[in-house]
Amino acid sequence: MVKNKNIKISKIETRIIQGKFGNGKYYGYGKNKLISLVKFKTNNSIYGYGESLVGIYSPKLFEINVRYLSSFFINKNLDEALNEIHKIQNNKFFFYQGLLKSVISSFEIALLSIKSKANSCSLGETINQTYFNGSLTKNTSVEVYASAGSIKSNFKELKEDVNKSIKMGINRIKIRLDTSSNYKKKVNFLEKKIDFFAIDLIANTFIKNRDQINLIKFLKFIKKKKILWVEEALNVDDLDYFSDLNEFKKIPFSYGENFTSFIDFSNLFRVKNIDYINLDITHCTISDLKKLIDHMKINKIKKKIIFHCWGSLININTSVEVASILSEYIHMVELPITDFSLNNFYIDSLEIKNSKLKMQNRLEEIEKFYDKIKINNKLEKNKFSFD
């Protein structure tokens, strides 16, 4: 075991990688998907990876802001660096929300990875000790749901996604639908072929698709079904409209994957008819999640969190590790089963039974996998190193 004060951050790198994804069927992506990682190196050769959700959509902005933030962490020891994560978030004008908060999330994950290796324990145990004084019990399994089904997927592809989910041992799936399309056949198929399903209306959140007439038609249809939840039903500027959906209050609604801070999520809890919040641990810091958990305890909030997870193995692994110690508050973790060349080896080897994922300490295996990946020449020019 290496003392935290003897571990100093010596170098911070960005690593932008891409892999084949979803057969070009996913809205907003081509045939490939980018992942933006940060790698923290130390004076004693321990290193850790972190990931930022914002980097998927704008790797260049991710890199520029990693460069800016790195000066706050270089040459600090591990305890000082983790304290810096808390300190800079107190600056409400720059670091409290938004793009920079997403990048800070990646820094925090990388630092916690280093700490877990230095102390020879799992990431979940490290988070428990760091933020909860070791007061939580780590579960041996985590509740997950399969996530697939693009709005551009055809019926054959939907069947393949459902069959894959069931074969993996997951009896619940979330698919994406467009309320302006013919969705009834797909929903009726889900109802017959899998025990539980949720619907993501992400396409409905785009400005051009803010059609509440189509939304109401869809909700009238879906309220007759036994559905886990409907996700992202409204554009962010229309959140107040949730209060007008009393006719559909038996439908659980979830929201929040684009938000980044404690104040965002604590306010979402107040929105009438929102039953779950979707928090992404590579977009909102674990330290802010800790604040949110405390807020839920103090105010006896019964609503729960569903982890949004649509990135790399760092995103998936961190999400399940956090969920393993916070099962009282984390309802489920999203497990993306869409074909993605950077994730497939891990997804295909998971041990899942009755939608419960068996916990395994695979952090170092994941990070060594990223060490071996050769950077695409077209992406190499965007790679930065800071020391």
Which neighbouring-strand residues pair with 11? 41
Q: Is the pLDDT of residue 127 over 50?
A: yes
Q: Quick one: CA torsion of 123, 60, 100, 263, rounded to 10 degrees?
A: -90
Paired sense of beta strands 9-20 and 385-386, if any: antiparallel
Query: With pLDDT > 70 as the criterion, what percentage of the chain qualifies?
Result: 93
Which pLDDT belongs to residue 209? 65
Which pLDDT belongs to residue 207? 64
Cross-sheet strand order for the sheet of 32-42: 47-51, 32-42, 9-20, 385-386
Q: Is the pLDDT of residue 252 over 90?
A: yes
What is the pLDDT confidence band of residue 224, given thresholds at 50, 70 and 90? very high
What is the pLDDT confidence band of residue 377, given thresholds at 50, 70 and 90? very low
Which pLDDT belongs to residue 206? 67
Six-digit token string for 208: 């051009």
What is the pLDDT confidence band of residue 20, given thresholds at 50, 70 and 90? very high
Same topology between domain 4-133+369-386 and domain 141-361: no
| Average pLDDT value for the chain | 91
Distances from the Cα of 185 to the Cαs of 155, 191, 192, 290, 353, in angstroms? 8, 10, 11, 42, 28
Which pLDDT belongs to residue 201? 92
Note the CATH architecture for domain 141-361.
Alpha-Beta Barrel (3.20)
Q: Is the pLDDT of residue 376 over 60?
A: no
Q: Is the pLDDT of residue 222 over 90?
A: yes
Q: Each residue of 137-158: pLDDT tens digit?
A: 999 999 999 999 888 888 899 9
* Residue 76: partners with Cβ closer than 8 Å, 6 or more residues away: 8, 9, 84
Count of residues in the chain:
387
The single-letter code of the amino acid at 8 is K
What is the pLDDT confidence band of residue 219, given thresholds at 50, 70 and 90? very high
Contact 258, 290 (CB under 8 A): no
Residue spans of the domains in the chain: they are 4-133+369-386, 141-361
280 C-beta neighbours (distance < 10 Å), count: 25
Q: Is the pLDDT of residue 386 over 70?
A: no
Query: Within 13 Å, how many C-alpha atoms sit on residue 242's CB side?
Result: 25
Domain 4-133+369-386 sits in CATH 3.10.20.600: no
Output phi, psi for 381, to 5 deg. Answer: -65, -15
Rounded distance, CA 51 to CA 35, Å?
Answer: 8
Taken in order 352, 130, 363, 40, the sign of the CA dihedral is positive
Q: Is the pLDDT of residue 212 over 90?
A: no
Q: Each residue of 28-53: pLDDT tens digit?
A: 677 889 999 999 999 999 999 999 99
Q: Which range among 9-13, 151-155, 308-312 shows the weakest confidence by mean pLDDT?
A: 151-155
Rounded distance, CA 335 to CA 324, Å?
Answer: 14
Output phi, psi for 91, to 5 deg. Answer: -80, 100
Six-digit token string for 375: 């950077």
Collapsing DSSP states into helix, strand and coil, what is residue 7? coil
